[in-house]
Amino acid sequence: MLKFIIKLHPEIIIKSKSVRKRFTLMLERNIKMILRRFDEQVEVKNHWDNIAITSHTTDEAMRLTFIDELMRIPGIEQVIEVTETHFSTLDDIYQSAFPLLRDSLVGKTFCVRVKRQGKHEFTSTEVERYVGGGLNQNIPSASVKLAHPEVTVKIEIKDQRAYIFSQVFRGLGGFPLPTQDDVLSLISGGFDSGVATYHMIRKGARTHFLFFNLGGAAHEIGVKQVSHYLWQQFSSTHKVKFISVDFEPVVAEILENIESGSMGVVLKRMMMRAGSQIAERLNIPALVTGESIGQVSSQTLVNLSVIDRVTETLILRPLIHLDKQEIIRTARAIGTLEMAEAMPEYCGVISKKPNVKTKLESIVAEEQKFDFDILNTVVANAKVMDIRDIEVEAKQEVKEAESVSALPPGAVVLDIRSPEEEDAAPLELDGIAVKHLPFFRLATQFGDLPQDVEYYLYCQKGVMSQLQALILHEKGFNNVKVYKPAKNQA
């Protein structure tokens, strides 16, 4: 049996009783939605100050899946793996604790900490002394150390049940989805927009994706990969939209008619205009960007002020005070770093001498040279899709990328998973060559491979391999198919 205690993010605990109730009910619902994808019989119970999860499975793979999924649900501060025991005496608690903790205390200093709820004939301190004394006596190499021990044994007692902590995992924190209003994130596929999106999801805002396409089909595919990943990792409990706008005509008009030093600010103002129109159409009250003070010329305080004045829509900038290295560290932690590194830069316009202190009146004068029918047309033609359809679209678009479950002799499988995924579960096939080439290096390094063989792309769920096959086909590589083992097929 698996049992976990979910600790709420501290900011949930300090809310008023009605708000806290609403937040915890949402969190309970989200946990059920996620875990019942793997175990339809899992029990999730809301105990006000925590949420208890019980599954009758004993499968180790399921245990690891539960932990991984729970650590990525907004609103969870800690995921505590526990053993629950009913007791009559203090010795009952000790007898349950000893076999669970014995191996982890060998050669270590430790202390016992107890929290207690309910009416009992003993105090928390008496439990600590009884259990700690028993462990110290029966594990010769362990020793009690009350200040700064190597291991802290935690036990929580509620009425006649004791919960013995075996492992504690750090959760995502933040607020459950969707406790805040919806937002529309301007996603480019780079470091900043991905991290900004993550922060808004973590804060409990259902976050939709708005992509201004400056680089054609390959750019859109890459951004769809990043967007689908962020949604799948952190907010798959709720449907969101992915909106794509062909912004190349807008860029062309800016390059043709706008003074060089003002082009960057004008481009951002055009994006905010378009974003505001789309947000209003979808009844979304705020835009989100990955801008940070001083990172580029359009992100000085003066230029940001000029950009903001183009719309009355609220513009949120969760990264506004962060350094680039702080943003990159977060990108690495959430798994978007390598995708962002592989994303080509599509900056749209490049000024030799960009103005870092533009004046609103001069920008307004420059924009009078712009044909706003072009902007209105690209907004009207924006493509809106359900984020879940990215996987479906990938399978439909890559018609040439035949999926096979049986490999022919001489085939070469390209395992395009990230290095971490490949290390955790290496792909080994009898009689078939397997080469690891991460998806974020595939576009630049595939051409260096011998082209007289058939290559079969492999990833865990088949989505990334389908999308990457499309990119390679568009580049003229027709010797690419998708390997999808029968056990992974839907």
Strand order in the sheet with 109-117: 43-46, 50-55, 2-8, 76-86, 161-170, 151-158, 109-117, 143-144
290 is in an annotated binding site: yes
368 is in an annotated binding site: no
- Is residue 347 part of the annotated active site? The answer reads no
Structure-block tokens of residue 325: 């290295």
Rounded CA gap, 393 and 166, in Å? 43
> One of 304, 459, 464, 472 is an active-site residue; which one?
459
Write the CA distances from 225 to 73, 330, 387, integer angstroms.
Answer: 20, 18, 10
β-strands 241-246, 383-386 pairing = antiparallel
Rounded CA gap, 60 and 144, in Å? 32
186 is in an annotated binding site: yes
299 is in an annotated binding site: yes
Q: Dihedral angle at the C-alpha atoms of 65, 70, 73, 76, nearest 10 degrees? A: -170
Residues 54/81, Cβ–Cβ less than 8 Å: no
Active site residues: 459
Annotated binding site: 186-187, 268, 290, 299
Annotated binding site for ATP: 186-187, 268, 290, 299
